[in-house]
Structure 1
Amino acid sequence: MWMYLDFPTLLLDRMQVLQPELKEKPVVLFHEQEQRVLQMNGPAEALGIQSGMSLSDAWLLSDALYTLRWREARQRHVLQQVATDLYQVFAVISLDPPAGLWLDLTPMQKLYPDPQQHCVQLQQQLSPWGVRYHAGLGSTPLQAKMLAQSGVSTVGDIPVVYLPCSPVLHEKLSRMGLHTLGALQAVPRALAGRRLGKELVLLLARVQGEQIEKLHFFRPPEWFFQRLELLAEASSWQALRFPLNRLLQDLEYFLESRQQETRQLKLCFHHRDMEPTVLDLGFAHGSYQAQELAQFCQLKMENCQLNAPVLEISIQARQLAPRTTGQTDLLRGPGRQNKSLPRLLNELQLRLGQQRVWGIQNQAEWLPEAAWKRVPAGQVIGVAQTEQRPLWLLPDPCPIDIREWQLLKGPERLSTPWWSQEVAEIYDRDYWYARHQKGQPGWVFYDYRQGCWWLHGWFS
């Protein structure tokens, strides 16, 4: 069993969801080369504008008509986005660009034996998209497609004009008085072949499922991309906040459905006569919520200058990873909003730059001053040391008077390894947990090579 979905106004419907103000005015999408209407919204239909009408005739019906170019690549991308969303429910999907797709219902018949259950599931999945569609159920892909496009309920009632054949064959069928598929199928196949040619025989074989349909099965993309054309030029970051938020909401929905997060965003603001303004955002920790991402974008935009009015916005996220949990809150206090450590690191990176915010990671070295390294913020720190170590390690050990200290725990012998090439000679240190006479706990050691005591760090 196959279901075909036909989206007659897919691109315009999606544009109206992203820019709701379009719903209040008559809007059409037109073919740039042919100068004819391809898609129109409700207010335009109410004026009598129809698909296929010349653009000049449409202008005669309303001088307030808002016209936009239809772009096939954009519609193909929207179709792919819809298929990606449906992939959560329907495992076998085949695209029929630019305005349709097939769903193979056979693998799900045990779960949903009633075809009406598929329709309910489909309606729930497509409701947030706000797109109009016609659905057709058939035993073969071609039957399902023609039922969806024609709007009839039975295969025999399908008008032959919906057969995917040449105009010459359509003309021959009309002259013979064969106006429906049922009337055509009543003609013996051999006779139809002699009178109308091999093209019709092969076409009827596809309708009946006697010839396998060549379909390209869909696999969802591994990254997110969305582009939005603005209704009017925007000359400030403030004017771009609302359309950008709409794109970020789409990104959140994309990530939420996959239980993923992103650590990178690329924003492109396209101008009329110059190269786009590109903002690259990198995060120490992944994020997926539109509200949080919008705040990060705002921080980035505050530090950049918009040199020309913006016509379009595009956003892409490629560095996707499974969502992490268990984040620890930081900066808690009365009257202060809790802020998680990952979010704080993200904001610091955006304000100061990625090259100014780092993390610290342990590494296998004998001497404390060499047992750590600098890593990008947000990177996994690794296994914590089991030995007691100070929170604050001094850049260089400083000499002390041991009479001002009380040795509490130790010693712990640390020696330079004999194979080390970074030191000229081997020497030993005995480390102690000690307390200064003023009360501060510190980490001190006795250096046998120099015969004196040194302070190397402070405990919290």
Structure 2
Amino acid sequence: MLWACIALPQLALDAVLRRSADPDAPLALVGGSAQLRTLHAVNAAAAQAGLKPGMRLTAALALLPDFAKVNYEPASEARWQRFLAAWAYRHSSLVSAQWPGCIVLEVRASFQLLGPWPRMEARLRSELTTLGFGHRIAMAPTPRAARVLAGLQDGVSVSNPLAMQALLDKVPVRRANLPDNAGERLQRMGIRDLRTLRALPRDSLRRRFGADLLQHIEQLYGEADDPLTHYAPPDQFDAKLELGHEVENHMALLFPLRRLIGDLCTYLSIRDGGVQRFVLRLEHEGAHTDVEVGLLAAEREPAILFELTRNRLERTSIPKPVVGMRLLARELPAFVPAARDLFELRAQQSLPWPHLRERLRARLGDDAVYRVAPSGDPRPEHAWHRVQGDSAHIPDAPHRPPRPLWLLPRAVPLRDRDLRIVSGPERLESGWWDGADARRDYYVLETSRGQRAWAFVPPGECDGWMLHGWFA
């Protein structure tokens, strides 16, 4: 096996910056107790102004009075680590997020599909950059070795176990992720690197530092099995964004909405599935507003889902200022891409019908776009009915004489002295069971202007024409 470790040195900070409208403005994560607030992490702009992690908030405000402050939440950091584990699951079936601040995944089995390690590494880096997370990546025959090497230098890759051991022997004990802070204690004892540590008597190390240290070294060098807690993707998507300020208009919500939709589509690609119904929850102080988005077929294209959600959002009134957004998707059916012609002739600016249909439903409402199915009733006003969705089977229409393309909502008198009968009559008698009995003789007529009309008169009569439709 070969394992890649993706170290995330500023995971909590990146999770905040990726949803910030101005990530280049000075910003810091603030943690600690109410009596002693300290900076947990700072972005590049805040660092240039002199702010540093560990600095007291009062000292930071004296140095830079105006910078954005966001509360550091360990639970949120863990949630984003799970999100990135889900992202890594699309590249490997063995993924672990058991160590904080990093993701490890087995990559040798993916080489046949994704190409050799340099190509796969470039792909991982590109996608992480697009997602907005800083990273360091290393590869080694054991997951713990990959983790140690990623913490030392970005881009290290070693596939030979002997070469890996030679690299590890030079690693300082303080940088070897030893359990229970043993690295600092060993450093103070004069033990500088792992080569020196491995040369010490095992019994003495066990008495002084416990069996966990020896087990860690054996797993680090590949001398013992390292059972990891493997990640399994959940069956639903639930993501939340705290805006940090009150928002009262739709336009200011589009940037965080795009991020949420992008995260949803990343999750869907991991599962190789789609989404057919989800809820965008706008959170207010003590209340929330739900924007429901439903599709007729499963979809996972980010641009399409964002456009549909934006249209729904613009039609929703915001009763109170929005302080957070949450996206919940519990119905995640299988995704079957639409069949495409190899030599597609569709114009570049046109939309395929499924995308156009969903856009119209989002703009006009769910009931505004529907399918038409024939019924067995011969009365023109009852000869069809609406069908929602794509799954229902529509039978063939019964064989009848030609019908006009333009059928009027109700028949109106047709006044023209120079009418000419083209065909007819067609006798229609129906509706005795529902109280709307109809007995009519329908004719195809030509008017004095050359138009073709579809009109009827009572049976056996030739006067008092009632216009019911026009032929094209």
Provide the TM-score with structure 2 as the length reference: 0.70
State whether structure 2 residue 179 is matched by structure 1 residue 177: no
Q: Distance in 1 between matches of 2:433 and 2:423?
A: 30
How far is 1:289 from its partner? Answer: 5.2
How far is 1:303 from its partner? Answer: 4.9
Match of 2:177 in 1: 163
Match of 1:228 in 2: 241
Which among 301, 311, 314 is matched to residue 314 of structure 2?
301
Q: Distance in 2 between matches of 1:252 and 1:349?
A: 21
How far is 1:19 from its partner? Answer: 2.0
SS of corresponding position for 1:276:
strand
1:322-333 to 2 correspondence within 5 Å?
322-324=336-338
Amino acid at match of 1:78: W
State whether structure 2 residue 225 is matched by structure 1 residue 211: yes
Amino acid at match of 1:8: P
Match of 1:30 in 2: 31
Amino acid at match of 2:366: Q
SS of corresponding position for 2:23:
helix
State whether structure 2 residue 138 is matched by structure 1 residue 142: no
Q: Distance in 2 between matches of 1:28 and 1:38?
A: 5
Q: Distance in 2 between matches of 1:433 and 1:318?
A: 55
1:72-83 to 2 correspondence within 5 Å?
72-83=74-85
State whether structure 2 residue 66 is matched by structure 1 residue 64: yes
Give the unaligned 5+ runs of structure 2. 157-166, 342-348, 460-464
Amino acid at match of 1:166: D
How far is 1:188 from its partner? Answer: 4.1
Amino acid at match of 1:228: L
Amino acid at match of 1:22: P
Cα distance change, pair 105–414 in 1 and its aligned pair in 2 (3 A):
farther
State whether structure 2 residue 47 is matched by structure 1 residue 45: yes
How far is 1:290 from its partner? Answer: 3.6
How far is 1:8 from its partner? Answer: 1.4
The answer (yes or no) to whether the contact 2:411–2:467 under 8 Å persists in 1 is yes
The answer (yes or no) to whether the contact 1:5–1:133 under 8 Å persists in 2 is yes
How far is 1:300 from its partner? Answer: 4.1
Amino acid at match of 1:132: G
SS of corresponding position for 1:23:
coil
How far is 1:226 from its partner? Answer: 4.1
SS of corresponding position for 1:205:
helix
Cα distance change, pair 116–47 in 1 and its aligned pair in 2 (3 A):
same
The answer (yes or no) to whether the contact 2:94–2:230 under 8 Å persists in 1 is no
Match of 1:133 in 2: 135
RMSD: 4.9
Q: Distance in 2 between matches of 1:197 and 1:289?
A: 51
State whether structure 2 residue 122 is matched by structure 1 residue 123: no
Q: Distance in 1 between matches of 2:118 and 2:32?
A: 36
The farther-off stretch of 51-60 and 257-266 is: 257-266
Q: Deviations over 1:249-305 (max 9, x none)?
A: 55567678989765545332223x32123322445676845488447635643551x
Amino acid at match of 2:226: I
1:61-460 to 2 correspondence within 5 Å?
61-96=63-98, 98-109=100-111, 115-151=117-153, 154-161=167-174, 162-167=176-181, 169=182, 173-174=186-187, 176-209=189-222, 210-219=224-233, 224-248=237-261, 263-271=276-284, 273-283=285-295, 288=301, 290=303, 293-294=306-307, 297-298=310-311, 300-304=313-317, 306-317=318-329, 321-324=335-338, 346=358, 349-350=361-362, 353-355=365-367, 357=368, 359-362=370-373, 365=376, 372-376=384-388, 382=394, 384-385=396-397, 387=399, 391=405, 434-435=444-445, 439-440=451-452, 442=454, 460=472
Amino acid at match of 2:131: W
Cα distance change, pair 415–187 in 1 and its aligned pair in 2 (3 A):
farther
The answer (yes or no) to whether the contact 2:293–2:308 under 8 Å persists in 1 is no
The answer (yes or no) to whether the contact 1:27–1:40 under 8 Å persists in 2 is yes
Cα distance change, pair 17–277 in 1 and its aligned pair in 2 (3 A):
same
The answer (yes or no) to whether the contact 2:42–2:52 under 8 Å persists in 1 is yes
Q: Distance in 1 between matches of 2:119 and 2:21?
A: 31
Cα distance change, pair 181–384 in 1 and its aligned pair in 2 (3 A):
farther
SS of corresponding position for 1:24:
coil
Give the unaligned 5+ runs of structure 1. 328-336, 417-421, 448-452
The farther-off stretch of 380-389 and 86-95 is: 380-389
The answer (yes or no) to whether the contact 1:398–1:455 under 8 Å persists in 2 is yes
SS of corresponding position for 2:16:
helix
Identity of aligned residues (%): 24
Q: Distance in 2 between matches of 1:379 and 1:458?
A: 32
The answer (yes or no) to whether the contact 1:268–1:314 under 8 Å persists in 2 is yes
How far is 1:29 from its partner? Answer: 4.5
How far is 1:2 from its partner? Answer: 0.9
Provide the TM-score with structure 1 as the length reference: 0.71
How far is 1:9 from its partner? Answer: 0.8
The answer (yes or no) to whether the contact 1:284–1:378 under 8 Å persists in 2 is yes
Q: Distance in 2 between matches of 1:264 and 1:406?
A: 53
